[in-house]
Structure 1
Amino acid sequence: MTQPTPDEGWQRLDARMLLVHPVKVLRQFLVPAVIGIVGVRSSSGDWPLWMLPVAGVGAVLIGSLPWLTTRFRITDTQFQLHSGLVNKTQLTAPLDRIRSVDLESSLLHRLLGLAKVEIGTGVDDTRINLDALAAPQSQELRRVLLARRSAALAEDPADDAVRLQDVLADGHPETVLVRIDWAWLRFAPFSLSRLAVVAGAVGVLSQFGDSLPFLDQDSLESGWNWVVGFAIWLVVLVALVAGALAWTAISVAGYALQWWDFVLAREPGRRPGQLGNLRLTAGLFTTRSTTVEEARIRGVELDEPVLLRVVGGAELSTLATGVGESGVTKVLPPCPVEVATGVGGALLEDDAPLRLPLVPHGPAARRRCHVREQWGTLVFTAAAIAATAVLDLGWWLPVLVFALCAVTGALTAEAEYAHLGHAMTRGHLVAGSGSWTRTRTALEIEGVIGWVVQQNLFQRRAGLATLVATTAAGAEKVVVRDVPERLGVALANAATPGLLSPFLDQDR
């Protein structure tokens, strides 16, 4: 294939986006426009009706600029994007640097048969956006970019050109790892991720509460007097039941909206035995299709929050390199722990890292957990004593604070030690951590860049150390906390033979 001429092969966004962008512009400027109109009315006494058509025409003009000024094309080696009217932008991404091609469709996009394409190149969190293309065109663009990326990396371009046509002709079907099971809805009330929505709603209500007629002082006092007219136990019971029902409705609805039609599939590589891509699709109103290149997945993280753990649930994320700033992609909703460990084992191509028992860190590590958690007890008890002395409160307050904090700290410390540990298989380093959320991280040993052995004063006295495996994936480190010093150094040396041999020789 010859290199295209400067004017060859350029494409525009879909013309139907002219119905999408004006709506987005109006939504962005709605609040400032209302404030401006209200301000003009308060000064002149009349509604400036002429501003409404001006705002509408302005939104249409501004919303039309992306379609008029955006062009893109694919060459043999590059993806090129030109955009902008006054401030012109020219983006060029080599095909071998493309890490992911994700699709997103809001409700308006789906009604118009459009999709937004986001191309990730692994440079920080920067992504190339095409908003919007026809849904079939976006799927084809995703398929072509990922296939051409593999062709750009091929050692034999002549042989690979034939294989590229096989991929574009759907010669390699994907394998579905897991689909949504609506029995998983039972886990929704035990996942606290929707608390942010509730907190946001409470915040909005508090901002506008003064203007609501039923939230004035007289109404609140009369409502309170009516409530206390009943037995207090009945009031508490009704409040708990109502809160539980409301939380169940919110969490189940949020779960369904986010994970509707969820599919996690593996797209095979273009050659036998070659790693392909992991594709996640989900969403009701806004549908997202996220791609993670399997060759860049260096491990997985299995999270079991305390409430989910009670009902046998878990969440799974991948740790990858070059997929943005965090490097962590959540690939499963709250689901049965057996499903999470099974999918994690399939991604690691080894079930052992997520199932084998961890090596405990011993009594010294347990004491460190208790000492660490009781520092808060000392601080809160001291504050309660000071408050009691200054405000002349009863001495029952510091006693109660001490008892509550001490019991909570002891329970937290026991949970933390129960989850603490490590293991190593033939290909993976495994670290257990967390207190109320049990976390197990499995990292490919080949993904370990180096080691950091940390010791504070208390750890040195106890013969413990914190072992940090540095990596380019995920949070860029995996921490093995409060491991016996000799055991930690031996673990690091076994994972990367020879790297810590000088330290071992000094200890002998």
Structure 2
Amino acid sequence: GPPPPAPPHRGNAAAAAPLTDGEWHRMHPLTPLLKGGIFLIVILGYVLNSLRDQLVEFFIPGGGPQDDGDPVRYVYEHGVVGWVLLGVAVLLLVLLALFTLSWRMHEFRVTGEIVEVRSGVLFRTNRKARLDRIQGINISRPLIPRIFGTAKLEIAQAGNDANVQLAYLGVKAADDLRQRILVLASGAKDDERQHDPARASNGVLQDRVDEIFSPELDPAAVRATRIVKVHPGRLIASMLLSGTTVFILAAVAAM
């Protein structure tokens, strides 16, 4: 007889069909790193700056910094480089374990009624957005997540409840999931032909470049929504007549 159908793939890189099956799914594996990316970049910048100073001192004696309080210089002069490297390795392993645990505990599901997100290791949080209260779904791709091919979905709902965020998902999965949630929220029947899990690929590098420079909203993912175009002149006029602009002008005049 024919082979049994393969189980649905639960990865974020596939089409979003499995992501709306009501089961719990995890975010992109880089989510913990991307959420703490700014902090890690600051630490990395400090370390690289210290190493740069030491390299200058190595090749040009007397050309490096003369600050005795430099921690890198202190470690080198006291011969504890090995212990420090061991401590750094242990710290990295601990951070990796915490990131993995945080990723495994950060899940979401989409049913025929709600979009639910739960996260946290020690202190669990649970956010829900009912489909009949969804007012819009925004796709945000800041610079660093964009480089890694990820995006953030923010679901705005009516009422006093806070918005529900799905951060982070793969770019393609985010576009497809947004479209499917809008279809579910509208009560319309989904068209399976709109979701092609086997999108054409031009190579890993070219795909990443296309994702970086692609628009925030995939034009192919707007078939379930209505897009309204606003004339640039009207948009500029609305900004000039906004309360913020009037307040700034009044403050400048008062000064």
TM-score w.r.t. length of structure 2: 0.52
Distance change >3 Å, CA 38–CA 93, structure 1 → 2: farther
Match of 1:53 in 2: 89
Match of 2:172 in 1: 136
Unaligned 5+ runs, structure 1: 1-6, 152-162, 172-259, 271-275, 280-330, 332-338, 345-353, 355-431, 433-437, 442-473, 476-508
Pick from 157, 161, 164 the counterpart of residue 189 of structure 2: 164
- Contact 1:113/1:134, CA 8 A, preserved across alignment: yes
Task: After TM superposition, give the deviation of residue 13 of structure 1 in Å.
Answer: 1.5
Q: What does residue range 169-180 of structure 1 map to in structure 2 within 5 Å?
A: 169-170=193-194
C-alpha separation in 2, matches of 1:18 and 1:93: 23
Q: Are 2:102 and 1:66 aligned?
A: yes
Q: Are 2:115 and 1:90 aligned?
A: no
- Contact 1:115/1:135, CA 8 A, preserved across alignment: yes
Pick from 26, 45, 49 the counterpart of residue 12 of structure 1: 26
Task: After TM superposition, give the deviation of residue 78 of structure 1 in Å.
Answer: 0.8
| AA aligned opposite 1:27 | I
- Contact 1:267/1:277, CA 8 A, preserved across alignment: yes
Q: What does residue range 138-157 of structure 1 map to in structure 2 within 5 Å?
A: 138-151=174-187
RMSD: 4.8
Equivalent position SS for 1:14: coil
Match of 1:119 in 2: 155
- Contact 2:22/2:111, CA 8 A, preserved across alignment: no
**1:397-447 alpha-carbon deviations (Å, 9 max, x no partner):** xxxxxxxxxxxxxxxxxxxxxxxxxxxxxxxxxxx9xxxxx9346xxxxxx
Task: After TM superposition, give the deviation of residue 129 of structure 1 in Å.
Answer: 2.6
| AA aligned opposite 1:100 | G
Alignment coverage as a number of residue pairs: 184
C-alpha separation in 1, matches of 2:130 and 2:23: 17
Task: After TM superposition, give the deviation of residue 44 of structure 1 in Å.
Answer: 9.8
Distance change >3 Å, CA 440–CA 32, structure 1 → 2: closer
- Contact 2:22/2:112, CA 8 A, preserved across alignment: no
C-alpha separation in 1, matches of 2:43 and 2:99: 12
Match of 2:232 in 1: 340
- Contact 2:140/2:152, CA 8 A, preserved across alignment: yes
Match of 1:103 in 2: 139
Equivalent position SS for 1:144: helix
Q: What does residue range 31-430 of structure 1 map to in structure 2 within 5 Å?
A: 38=70, 42=74, 46=78, 47=81, 48-106=84-142, 108-121=144-157, 126-151=162-187, 163-166=188-191, 169-170=193-194, 267=222, 276-277=226-227, 340-341=232-233
C-alpha separation in 1, matches of 2:121 and 2:216: 40
Task: After TM superposition, give the deviation of residue 86 of structure 1 in Å.
Answer: 0.4
- Contact 2:106/2:117, CA 8 A, preserved across alignment: yes
TM-score w.r.t. length of structure 1: 0.29
| AA aligned opposite 1:10 | W
**1:8-44 alpha-carbon deviations (Å, 9 max, x no partner):** 6111113355775675562365589899x95597599
| AA aligned opposite 1:340 | P
- Contact 2:108/2:116, CA 8 A, preserved across alignment: yes
Match of 2:240 in 1: 439
C-alpha separation in 2, matches of 1:61 and 1:15: 13
Compare the two structures and name the one with the higher strand fraction.
1
Task: After TM superposition, give the deviation of residue 122 of structure 1 in Å.
Answer: 5.2
% identical aligned pairs: 23
**1:196-239 alpha-carbon deviations (Å, 9 max, x no partner):** xxxxxxxxxxxxxxxxxxxxxxxxxxxxxxxxxxxxxxxxxxxx
- Contact 2:34/2:145, CA 8 A, preserved across alignment: yes
Pick from 18, 22, 27 the counterpart of residue 41 of structure 2: 27
Q: What does residue range 413-492 of structure 1 map to in structure 2 within 5 Å?
A: 439-440=240-241
C-alpha separation in 2, matches of 1:21 and 1:64: 13
Task: After TM superposition, give the deviation of residue 134 of structure 1 in Å.
Answer: 2.1
| AA aligned opposite 1:77 | E
| AA aligned opposite 2:155 | I
C-alpha separation in 1, matches of 2:42 and 2:241: 42
Distance change >3 Å, CA 59–CA 21, structure 1 → 2: farther
- Contact 2:139/2:216, CA 8 A, preserved across alignment: no
Distance change >3 Å, CA 44–CA 142, structure 1 → 2: same
C-alpha separation in 1, matches of 2:37 and 2:106: 19
Task: After TM superposition, give the deviation of residue 71 of structure 1 in Å.
Answer: 1.2
Distance change >3 Å, CA 90–CA 19, structure 1 → 2: closer
